[in-house]
Amino acid sequence: MTLSIDEVNRVKLAPPVEGVLLLFHSRWSPRSFSEREVSPADLEKAFEAARWAASSSNEQPWLFLAGARNSDTYNKIFSTLVGFNQTWAGAAPVLILGVASAKFAHNGLPNEYALYDLGAAASYLTLQAAALGLVTHQMAGYNHEAARQTFGIAEDYVLGSVIALGYQGEPAALANEQLLGREVAPRQRKPLKDFVLTSWGANEGS
């Protein structure tokens, strides 16, 4: 017996905090995807959210290559994934590779915030996807050089994550015990005091 989708989502839900949007606490990154396809309209809504992310000098340096299953783009992205990610990500109906220009369009100077802004846009995308009842799982685990070659991505672009996107599947559908174990484990985060150093006026707090 393993957990159902509803049960695992209850395990993954972060402890609610009054005033904090449920979206931040309920979004997580499953590896089990159902066979249900994603409509082009819903995918467009996820990108519409990404569109309005903030960026340095409003450069909007991000570019997303998105492929539905069986498309050339999907197959190319999948082929670059590391073995572990290939054991589960092929069940996702959509794979997306995010990249960003690290040169400002207006003057060709280096944009040191390209990767930072891409991370922001991707997070808007994943949050909006969650709001639509979709799930996403971002992966750093792919062959970056192979991705550059297969898509002809120039050196002045930086590479972000591959995003698997679709509807959540039953944990039991995962291929092995290692995947299942991760799927049903509670989420862990550092306490605030470990990553926020606050100073509240002349008498220093912490």
**What's the min distance (Å) between Cβ of 10 and a second copy?**
16
- Cβ distance to a second copy smaller for residue 26 or 87: 26
**What's the min distance (Å) between Cβ of 1 and a second copy?**
26
CA 109 to chain centre: 28
Question: Buried b vs exposed e over 9-28: b needs ≥16 C-beta within 10 Å?
Answer: eeebeeeeeeeeeeeeeebb
- Cβ distance to a second copy smaller for residue 92 or 115: 115
CA distance 48 to 92: 21
- Cβ distance to a second copy smaller for residue 9 or 47: 47
CA distance 146 to 154: 12
**What's the min distance (Å) between Cβ of 198 and a second copy?**
5
**What's the min distance (Å) between Cβ of 146 and a second copy?**
16
- Cβ distance to a second copy smaller for residue 46 or 174: 46
Find the helix or strand (DSSP H, E) in which 44 lies.
helix 40-51
